[in-house]
């Protein structure tokens, strides 16, 4: 599982690689199956991806930053115990 906490405009990964990002909205702690997350990001046709979150238990959409791309990926989170 990959767990990354996003808050205060900073990324707080646990056993993961640094990811450059910009954040808007409220804090969220969300977990993903690391294999699925790696596969989704590595297969995405662009290096710039927009992730949209509703809450820690809802699916996350990976959307293209550029309007000329049409790839949308849905990624389900895993429940984390805090």
Q: Is 11 exposed, middle or buried (0-12, 13-18, 19+ CB in 10 A)?
A: middle
pLDDT at position 10 over 70 = no
**Confidence band, pLDDT 50/70/90 cuts, at residue 32:** confident
pLDDT at position 60 over 70 = yes
Q: What is the mean pLDDT of the chain?
A: 76
% of the chain residues with pLDDT over 90: 10
d(CA 75, CA 43) in angstroms, rounded, equals: 13
% of the chain residues with pLDDT over 70: 72
């Amino acid at each position: 599982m990959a767990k990354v906490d996003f808050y205060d405009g900073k990324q707080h990964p646990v056993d993961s690689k640094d990811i450059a990002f910009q954040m808007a909205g409220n804090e969220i702690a969300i977990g993903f199956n690391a294999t699925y997350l790696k596969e989704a990001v590595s297969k995405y046709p662009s290096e710039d991806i927009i992730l949209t979150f509703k809450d820690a238990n809802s699916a996350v959409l990976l959307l293209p930053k550029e309007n000329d791309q049409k790839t949308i990926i849905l990624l389900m989170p895993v429940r984390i115990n805090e």
